[in-house]
Amino acid sequence: MAEATNKVDLRPSIEHFYSFPFVLVTCADEVGKGNIIAIGASAPCSANPPTIGIAVALRRYSHGLIAARGEFGVNIPRAGDLEGADLTGCVSGRDGDKFEATGFTAIAGQAISVPMIAECPVNLECKLVHTAKLGSHDWFIGEVVAARADAAAVTSEGRVDPTRFDGVFSWWGEYCAPGERLGKWGFAAPR
């Protein structure tokens, strides 16, 4: 085996993992008041059934809301809405209304009783199907039961095209823009 001469040793940490899409997760309290939490760690978990995982710290107000109600919304913001999106991670919903504070517009979900965010080009409605207790955060896994997107963000094949809106990635304390499209899966397969 070759020697790794151009590598440096790092402390073991998830901070070395590639960036996650930055999302705004919506949830609601027992009387239906909506809340928004900024989530820097989210990922698709399964294609069939379609599931998405989000990491929520145990100490967060939204953690209890999601666990109690069993549903949440995943809203993908634009870079142009980053100031409001960032604010949702800086203040607690215990202390006020984040929709009001950010100016985001709450719209009704189609299949869940949690509001979605009108300004976000992609809205995915999730029913909680599993909670993995992992330490400082729980990984909430939700089945996507309804999905909507701005017409301008959708291809003629009915898929969201991330190059049609200015999405955001989360990279351990920083926001980053997605790069250019480099190719489709399987582009190197023998023909």
Would you say 76 and 117 are in contact if contact means Cβ atoms under 8 Å apart? Answer: no
Assign 9 a pLDDT band (cuts: 50, 70, 90): confident
**Is pTM beyond 0.75 here?**
yes
Give the chain's radius of gyration (CA, Å).
18
Query: Is pLDDT of 53 > 90?
Result: yes
pLDDT-wise least confident of 13-27, 63-77, 176-190: 176-190
Average pLDDT over residues 58-82: 96
Between residues 87 and 8, the one the model is more confident about: 87
Question: 118-176: per-residue pLDDT in tens?
Answer: 999 999 999 999 999 999 999 999 999 999 999 999 989 888 888 888 888 887 778 88
Provide the pLDDT for residue 173.
Answer: 79
Segment 177-181 shows an average pLDDT of 74
Q: Which segment of 99-108, 161-170, 175-184 scores lowest on mean pLDDT?
A: 175-184
Q: In the chain, what are the domains?
A: 19-151+164-176 (2.30.110.10)
pLDDT at position 162: 81
**Strand order of the sheet with strand 51-57?**
34-39, 23-28, 71-76, 122-133, 137-149, 51-57, 42-46
If you average pLDDT over residues 39-68, what whole number do you get?
95
